[in-house]
Amino acid sequence: MFSAQAFSKTERYYLLALLAFLIFGFFFRLGDYPLILEESRRAMISLEMTLMDNVWVPLQTGDLYLRKPPVYNWILIGSAQLFGSFSEFSVRFFSVLSHLLLAVVTYLFVRKYVGVVVAALTALSYLVAADILFYFSLLGEIDLFYALITSLGMFYVYHAGQQKKYLSLFLVVYGLTALGFLTKGLSSLPFTAITLLVFFIQQREFKVLLSWRHFVGILCFILLMGGYFWKYHQYADAWGWWHVLFEESSNKVASGGFGEWLNHLAVFPLDTFKNIMPAAFLMPVFFIKSIRQSIGSHSLTRYSLAVFFFNFCVYWLSTEGRSRYIYPLFPFLILVIIYAYHQALAGWVRKYVHGLSMGLLALVSLALPVLFYLPQLEVVNSLTEMVILSYIFLAVLWWFLLRKSIQPYLIILGLLAVLKIVFNSILADTRAESSNAAADKVLSLQWAEKMAGASIYRYGDVRMSYGLVFYLERESKRILKKKDRFLTNAFYFVHEKDIEEIPESAELIDVVEYHLEKILLVQIK
């Protein structure tokens, strides 16, 4: 069984090729489709901070944005400066880079305490975790960057704690907690508190949490937080930010009824295991008693399992818990699973994984031609060439599998790398050609050209698609601020219900719908 030895020479070359293929896959066509959903909001807020020349106060259409602190906006601003504009690629780049960096950190950490084989399989399994591979790695969202920051802190608790470097532990962890707080808010506090409790209780050194070193770490957190909010308060009332933050967090915990809570209690663990596939396929090894004992006897796997479970419970017991909220925990759960698989010596485990890899490879090989019969894929360019290329890669995987020259689990990882390329190509073309986001982008560019530098405003409480607003602001280099009166030589977005308030000199330019309400674009002459 492979667990008794390191990777063979063939496997090492295969792993290097797989890693290169995955890195290419994550960036492949990343900027070829318009921004959607929340990534448009992140980009819009970052753009407005740039236009206002103020990186301390997040704005959304000129109003204070109090739901997320600004660190991720700083990342997007830096990316825009690096790539020269707020392009789709620059908005998504650091999200994908964060995912790759966390895989590297996971590898280095696990290699130090467990070994190269478990480290490589854990890092690669995290890289191709299904929810991230086929969804969040395609977006310029906050969660993968936040996962990097939060997981770093959890890793460092163990690393510094093993060496009893407690001052370093608390300074680094609370510094990362402050950075996480200024990225996503209050969720960083329970992650840190639970992780510290887990480690020091397991080590039977609870008294360290009452030492002066811990209080120095807390002071570091307070100084970093206080420094930001002191600067923020020079431009706007910081108390309003705190009010919204606590209100939003309490609403998430208390939302939904008892039935909703029971449903979440049953579904959330299943969603989690689905989202960490293919590692979840290996979980039958937990039925082996000796494997469970091995996990409990190893310091790192015992720590990782406890860190995962007790942090997971926070979101498991909240009806608003979402898979992306626990991305920082994915490396720890995957580590435990891979370690268990690595320790398994039972013959049925080898047969099971070999059969699984063969079944998945056969399924994809048979399913690829179906792509030609899906009407929604008619907009996909070079579909035939892409399928042919995919079959070439699949043939290579079949060759390795049938010759038994590499571990069958590596075949599954390679299969997901192929599917990543196919999926990115299909999604890029469909989103670029037929999505609502594509229509919003085209419309915004047309509007910006017609406005040609004129002032643009929202009249009253008008709200619009984030995509429409972002592309309009990017092209016009103007913030779509709110106005409660009409000015001449300006463009306005107006609710249909306010049509009687529009001056007679106005010219109707366009009509759009948002949440079933008509919004008029008019020019006041």
pLDDT at res. 228: 94
In a domain? residue 98:
yes
Tell me what the mean pLDDT of segment 2-17 comes to. 80
Tell me what the mean pLDDT of segment 84-90 comes to. 96
Which residues does residue 207 pair with via DSSP β-bridges, in sequence order? none
Tell me what the mean pLDDT of segment 212-225 comes to. 96
Ranges of beta strands (E only) in 367-475 are 455-459
In a domain? residue 32:
no
Is the predicted pLDDT of residue 3 greater than 50, yes or no? no
Same domain? For 358 and 406 the reply is yes
Q: How sure is the predictor about 453, in pLDDT bands with cuts at 50, 70 and 90?
A: confident
The string of pLDDT tens digits covering residues 455-465 is: 899 998 888 89
pLDDT at res. 5: 55
pLDDT at res. 254: 53
The string of pLDDT tens digits covering residues 373-432 is: 999 888 888 899 999 999 999 999 999 999 988 999 999 999 999 999 999 999 999 999
Same domain? For 381 and 407 the reply is yes
Instruction: Using alpha carbons, select from 401, 297, 299, 282 the residue that is nearest to residue 334.
Output: 282
CATH of the domain at 517: 3.40.190
pLDDT at res. 283: 93
Same domain? For 420 and 455 the reply is no
Give the C-alpha separation, 374 to 522, whole Å: 41
Same domain? For 269 and 144 the reply is yes
304 CB-near residues (< 8 Å, 6+ apart): 332, 333, 335, 336
Q: Is 520 helix (H, G, I), strand (E, B) or coil?
A: strand
Tell me what the mean pLDDT of segment 493-515 comes to. 88
In a domain? residue 497:
yes
In which domain, by residue range, is 511 found?
437-524
Phi and psi at residue 348, in whole multiples of 5°? -65, -25
Find out whether 41 and 471 touch, Cβ atoms under 8 Å.
no
Phi and psi at residue 54, in whole multiples of 5°? -145, 105
Please name the residue that has the structure tokens 């050209």: 449
Same domain? For 284 and 378 the reply is no
Same domain? For 104 and 249 the reply is yes
Q: How sure is the predictor about 208, in pLDDT bands with cuts at 50, 70 and 90?
A: very high
Task: Please state the domain count of the chain.
Answer: 3
Query: Cis omega before residue 331 (within 30°)?
Result: no
Q: In this prediction, what percent of the chain has a pLDDT beyond 70? A: 97
Query: Which of 343, 367, 390 marks a domain boundary?
Result: 343
Same domain? For 72 and 210 the reply is yes
The string of pLDDT tens digits covering residues 108-166 is: 999 999 999 999 999 999 999 999 999 999 999 999 999 999 999 999 999 999 999 99
Same domain? For 310 and 398 the reply is no
Is the predicted pLDDT of residue 246 greater than 80, yes or no? no
In a domain? residue 157:
yes
Question: Amino acid identity, residue 366?
Answer: L
Query: Which of 434, 458, 475 marks a domain boundary?
Result: 434
pLDDT at res. 295: 92
* CB half-sphere exposure, 3, CA atoms < 13 A: 14
Is the predicted pLDDT of residue 242 greater than 80, yes or no? no
Q: How sure is the predictor about 256, in pLDDT bands with cuts at 50, 70 and 90?
A: low
Residue-averaged pLDDT of the chain: 92
Give the C-alpha separation, 120 to 126, whole Å: 10
Find out whether 338 and 118 touch, Cβ atoms under 8 Å.
yes
pLDDT at res. 251: 59
Same domain? For 256 and 379 the reply is no
In a domain? residue 24:
no
In a domain? residue 194:
yes
Is the predicted pLDDT of residue 477 greater than 70, yes or no? yes
| pTM recorded for the entire structure | 0.94
In a domain? residue 3:
no
Same domain? For 333 and 362 the reply is no
Same domain? For 325 and 449 the reply is no
Tell me what the mean pLDDT of segment 201-222 comes to. 95
In a domain? residue 225:
yes
Is the predicted pLDDT of residue 259 greater than 90, yes or no? no
Question: Amino acid identity, residue 455?
Answer: S
Same domain? For 422 and 520 the reply is no
pLDDT at res. 150: 98
The string of pLDDT tens digits covering residues 53-79 is: 999 999 999 899 988 899 999 999 999
